[in-house]
Structure 1
């Protein structure tokens, strides 16, 4: 592609679509490059029973309300349908099957190469990819000798095939708790944690927690302006009877095991237990190798940025990083304000 665009958005999920909305609103020439077959991010790959922990009324992208009952929590399928409808409504220019493999800078412009061999040129880049394809799994002693099944939560889809197993789920946040509660209906399942699960009460004084987060300003408080990291909660949202289920030990909670052996795990007291499956709900890590050649990442591969603006490569921006500008930055409700902030900075950059 010979034409030099104002901006290219890498990633066609919620962060990419929100970025496209604001770029379009400002009349900029842009494209959204999506590695997959559709512009729905990683949502089709999440486990089937997934529900947002924010209600419908607080789960919208800019310009289009999330349909449905305001106080219900959208399902995975509802989010996928919403993202598809969003792209169609605003006729956002998305090109699918365009996995970015390399970014270079020459003659003041960025040159983007995709796995299909296509080349794009642009004045600015918004990286809006998630980290779903880079799951973090800790390296635990004896893991290579374990003859059972080890999964990351990103590989889990539904309880089929797990009936009557002994299952350990490592983690204490939303995904870990949701999976453990679901699987405990079919198998003997335990949450394995370093600290007990902290369930955040979802409704306070008749309002969803997210209402109060907005009222007190935590959802948008600019911690980054004061050189502080945005606090990310370590607990899980109580989306129903979670508190009662955990109190009833279905699932129960156990302190982290020390190592694996061929048939299971070894606990801190030296006891061995036969285990069929271990699922790590231990989160994800940023993986943007295509930005390394231009110096956009630190030695550990983390973007050098403040509030979504690259501090090492002028013209590089980010939307969708956890804690980027606020408590809600990596969520459906948070990517819109962050995209708007970034696009304003792009306009300033293009005028200079």
Structure 2
């Protein structure tokens, strides 16, 4: 994307595809597409990687680079199991059309939650339900995009991940539109409901209200079922056990693209390459001594 005339914006879909395609072309590696890994097993000092269909690959090291957006997370919300209306995750949301004229509650306080709620509010009656106030950060400051300043100050790559027991909640990046629409009540924001029964939600003030649908914009978790047979690779929740990308209990296993793996940008295109290079060097050293 170096040849873009305007770098101070998010890339479009085709630009991302072109970037990844060019990266793959420059890579001196065998690339297989349309292959799904079903299991990874230990074989002596290395690993066996099993693909759907039965093919097997041998490797001295494995890097799980499937990122953090493969497994939609459904938070344990009060009364959600008793709610009989429609419940869907933001991963399954496509457009506001099916919700026209309906009563919808969007749960979450991040970018996806706010963007979906604002879009739905144009054709439906919408409440954004959150555990606390929505936190906004200006998309632009002093005439430049926020990501410019994150890169210029070094905060983007600062190794802060090692000090975090869990990733912090991300604020909503805003050019002013979302803050204004919430302030105007389109959509309204309320504290999270306290219970549910049938198609009714119970709000903290005791009000019971008929609701047609709940949209859960409650994030994602790493999708790593193929590592389930590697003892110690994942915790009880299916999340990787690692320190800055290196598995803590499985020598030769590493992860790339995890949220706050090492820095703020670890799960983005601008940061994953740096983390991958670092992981490669750390994996290569013990392999060279074998």
Same fold (TM over 0.5): yes
1:307 aligns with 244
> Are 2:242 and 2:248, in contact at CA under 8 Å, matched by a contact in 1?
yes
SS of match in other structure, 1:169: strand
2:213 aligns with 277
User: 1:97, CA displacement in angstroms?
Assistant: 2.8
* Structure 1 portions without partners, runs of 5+: 1-63
**1:93 is the counterpart of 2:30:** yes
Aligned length: 288
> Are 2:8 and 2:148, in contact at CA under 8 Å, matched by a contact in 1?
no
2:230 aligns with 294
**1:204 is the counterpart of 2:159:** no
Deviation digits for residues 329-349 of structure 1 (CA, Å, limit 9, x no counterpart): 111211111111111122213
Mean Cα displacement is larger for which, 179-188 or 297-306? 297-306
Map of 1:1-352 to 2, 5 A cutoff?
64-65=1-2, 67=4, 69-76=6-13, 78-80=15-17, 82-88=19-25, 90=27, 93-224=30-161, 227-229=163-165, 232-239=168-175, 241-295=177-231, 296-352=233-289
Deviation digits for residues 62-105 of structure 1 (CA, Å, limit 9, x no counterpart): xx537462223234555345434543565863322322121111
SS of match in other structure, 1:215: helix
With the length of structure 1 as denominator, give the TM-score of the two structures: 0.75
Which has the higher relative contact order, 1 or 2, with Cα contacts under 8 A spaced 6 or more apart? 2
Mean Cα displacement is larger for which, 65-74 or 331-340? 65-74
With the length of structure 2 as denominator, give the TM-score of the two structures: 0.90
* Structure 2 portions without partners, runs of 5+: none
> Are 2:135 and 2:172, in contact at CA under 8 Å, matched by a contact in 1?
yes
RMSD: 2.3
SS of match in other structure, 1:327: coil
User: 1:293, CA displacement in angstroms?
Assistant: 2.4
> Are 2:167 and 2:259, in contact at CA under 8 Å, matched by a contact in 1?
no
Deviation digits for residues 227-246 of structure 1 (CA, Å, limit 9, x no counterpart): 44586343110045122112
SS of match in other structure, 1:126: strand
| Residues 298 and 231 of structure 1, relative CA distance in 2, 3 Å threshold | closer
SS of match in other structure, 1:182: helix
SS of match in other structure, 1:260: strand
| Residues 232 and 90 of structure 1, relative CA distance in 2, 3 Å threshold | same
> Are 1:230 and 1:324, in contact at CA under 8 Å, matched by a contact in 2?
no
SS of match in other structure, 1:112: strand
> Are 2:66 and 2:223, in contact at CA under 8 Å, matched by a contact in 1?
no
Deviation digits for residues 291-325 of structure 1 (CA, Å, limit 9, x no counterpart): 23222223433322111111211111110011101
| Residues 245 and 98 of structure 1, relative CA distance in 2, 3 Å threshold | same
